[in-house]
Amino acid sequence: MPNVIDYVTQYATDVVQGNILASEKNIKTCQRHLTDMNNKALNYHFDVDRANHVINFLEMLPDPKSGKALGLAGFQKFIAGSLYGWVSDEGYRRFTKAYLSMSRKNGKTLLIAGLSLYELIMGDEPTNERLIGLSANSREQAGIAFDMTKAQIESIRVKSKAIKSITKITDSRKEIFNTTDRSKIKAVSNEASNLEGYQFSFAIIDEYHEAKNKKMYETLRRGQVLLNNPTLIIISTAGEDLNGPMYQEYEYINKLLNKDAVNDNYFIYCAEQDTEDEAYYSDTWIKSNPLLELEDIKDVLIRNIEAEVKEGTDSSGLHGILVKNFNMWRQASTESYLDFMDWKKNETDFDIKYSKTYIGLDLSRADDLTAVSFIHLDEVNQEYYVTSHSFVATKGGLKSKIERDFIDYEQLQREGYCTITDLQSGIINSNQVLDYMERYITENKLDVQAICYDPHAIHGFIAEIERRNWRYELIEIRQGAMTLSNPVIDFRLKVINEQIKHHKNTLLDIAVKNAIAKVTNDSVMIEKKMHREKIDPIMATIFAYVIASEHEWQKKKVRLPIIF
């Protein structure tokens, strides 16, 4: 009996050993596979025969353009084999969800078309009436995946009378049927009326970076809750909306791969460049363009990417190229106050106890957030460390506010990043804000230097602060370029120079992404593009920084040499 080739484990081994260059995330994914192969406590095992069955099926599919059988690259075998090879003792797929991301023109649409056809023709759970969904944010994008799938099945139908006899295509409704068990592939777009009521056993969301909310994802997932063997695959290049649901998934897979969270049912394949500098070195491009593994298309792919890099370098810059050609997340607006990647790299933990602290208050009463930020001084390293907390008004209803802002305040309250008002009127409860400040100061034994506030809506707070007998200096931060421009500029420079650190805080991150720099007569002010966008936490931070930046650091003691 010939030896069975384990394509999945071979690819994982080659990546981990460095024989195939891969992104840091995919190295961790491959290491996870190898570790799990020897994990006796895991409730799943890897079935090589199941993995090879889907791989062999995909390699029999014809390329719609040439008509020749597709030869899969190693990474494609790894993805397909992992999705179907890892199973429970009952034979159900381990991975009920997958995140697949790579640069454009790397065969992702062809791969999902093949997986959809495999599920239509070879699937067995449920036995009858399997519904395979090809979904996207727009009808046009969903149509692209469907047309690729249709082209493949039409090529098969020409060559196989058996497949032709059991399949049927309905162009008008974007459906492909398996007539023997009444299963079908259906293309759907991000419209509630188009999705609700369907129970997709196997669903794919294509180009998820374009989604503005999680409606499509949640509707598809909700329809799978009663199924034994569901799968939902998110597949996309990176994008520019750092507040969108795809980027939220990107942050979550980071947690999983770094072992800060555990989810045994989530498969991850994320091909990306690890640094911007790698964009100039073609020998690293396989990290984000895994199709470069195939020698017969390597030269063409590199030549085309090189042309785009040169054009970007000479004219518009590498921003769009980093996103599409190298699968790196970048902010959409060139007007952004802070580059979010600069901000994110400064996320760290810091012992705030006993620190000298400046407090910033950005107040609201009804619609915006009220935010309180603390700038703690690290006098040893002469750095600033930011913590923050927000308070959420609910006038007009919390649910509608969540939907309008695209922010799940209830979840963020559970995670400790915000407090939802307890007043029936829905306005901010000043006592909740001041109670939080008092508790935070006391618990951490903070040496408060000043409370810096925006005079808007402060009147109720000032009276309550005086009633509490606080002895902290209260400093009004006047709104305008004369007061704020220089601190705004300096704060940005110190973030770039890694002198301003901050704790993890989802709402503060959102504010940084939303903050736009408005330049007028050499002065810089912060604003937002849309009313619903929240920048209050970063504004509270800036108010504190106006005064914190004037702090005179203790001079470091220099030990003089002893002269004999």
Residues 270 and 345 in one domain: no
Region 502-506 average pLDDT: 95
Residues 444 and 523 in one domain: yes
Region 43-72 average pLDDT: 88
Region 514-535 average pLDDT: 85
Residue 401 covered by a domain: yes
End of a domain among 255, 277, 299?
A: 277
Instruction: Return d(Cα 204, Cα 99) in angstroms, integer.
Output: 10
- Cβ atoms of 255 and 121 closer than 8 Å: no
Q: What would the pLDDT profile of 55-66 be if each residue is shown by its tens digit?
A: 999 998 877 677
Residue 324 covered by a domain: no
Residues 354 and 462 in one domain: yes
Q: What would the pLDDT profile of 186-198 be if each residue is shown by its tens digit?
A: 998 876 456 677 8
Query: Does residue 523 have a pLDDT over 90?
Result: no
CATH number of the domain that residue 137 is part of: 3.40.50.300
Domain of residue 181 covers 7-277
Whose CA is closest to 363, among 487, 543, 545, 485? 543
Whose CA is closest to 77, among 109, 55, 59? 55
Region 309-314 average pLDDT: 75
Write down the mean pLDDT value for the chain.
Answer: 89
Residue 485 covered by a domain: yes
Radius of gyration of the chain measured on its C-alpha atoms? 27
Residues 350 and 261 in one domain: no
Residue 524 covered by a domain: yes
Query: Does residue 495 have a pLDDT over 90?
Result: yes
- Cβ atoms of 148 and 64 closer than 8 Å: yes
End of a domain among 236, 258, 277?
A: 277
Residues 531 and 385 in one domain: yes
Residues 420 and 515 in one domain: yes
Residues 144 and 240 in one domain: yes
Residue 213 covered by a domain: yes
> What letter would DSSP give residue 271?
-
Residue 553 covered by a domain: no
Residues 224 and 93 in one domain: yes
Q: Which residue has the higher pLDDT, 110 or 42?
A: 42
Residues 6+ apart with CB under 8 A from 424: none
Residues 361 and 491 in one domain: yes
Residue 362, pLDDT score: 92
Residues 403 and 496 in one domain: yes
Q: Do strands 370-378 and 383-392 pair parallel, antiparallel, or not at all (unpaired)?
A: antiparallel
Q: Do strands 474-476 and 447-453 pair parallel, antiparallel, or not at all (unpaired)?
A: parallel
Residues 502 and 379 in one domain: yes
Region 37-49 average pLDDT: 95
End of a domain among 251, 277, 303?
A: 277
Q: What would the pLDDT profile of 162-175 be if each residue is shown by its tens digit?
A: 999 999 999 888 89
CATH number of the domain that residue 468 is part of: 3.30.420.240
Residue 352 covered by a domain: yes
> What letter would DSSP give residue 480?
S
> What letter would DSSP give residue 438?
H
Query: Does residue 383 have a pLDDT over 60?
Result: yes
Residues 223 and 351 in one domain: no
Whose CA is closest to 256, among 45, 43, 98, 103? 98
Give the chain's domain count. 2
Residue 419 covered by a domain: yes
Q: What percent of the chain has pLDDT over 90?
A: 60
Q: What would the pLDDT profile of 431-464 be if each residue is shown by its tens digit?
A: 999 999 999 999 999 999 999 998 877 877 888 8
Q: What would the pLDDT profile of 84-131 be if each residue is shown by its tens digit?
A: 999 999 999 999 999 999 999 898 888 988 999 999 999 888 889 999
Query: Does residue 389 have a pLDDT over 60?
Result: yes
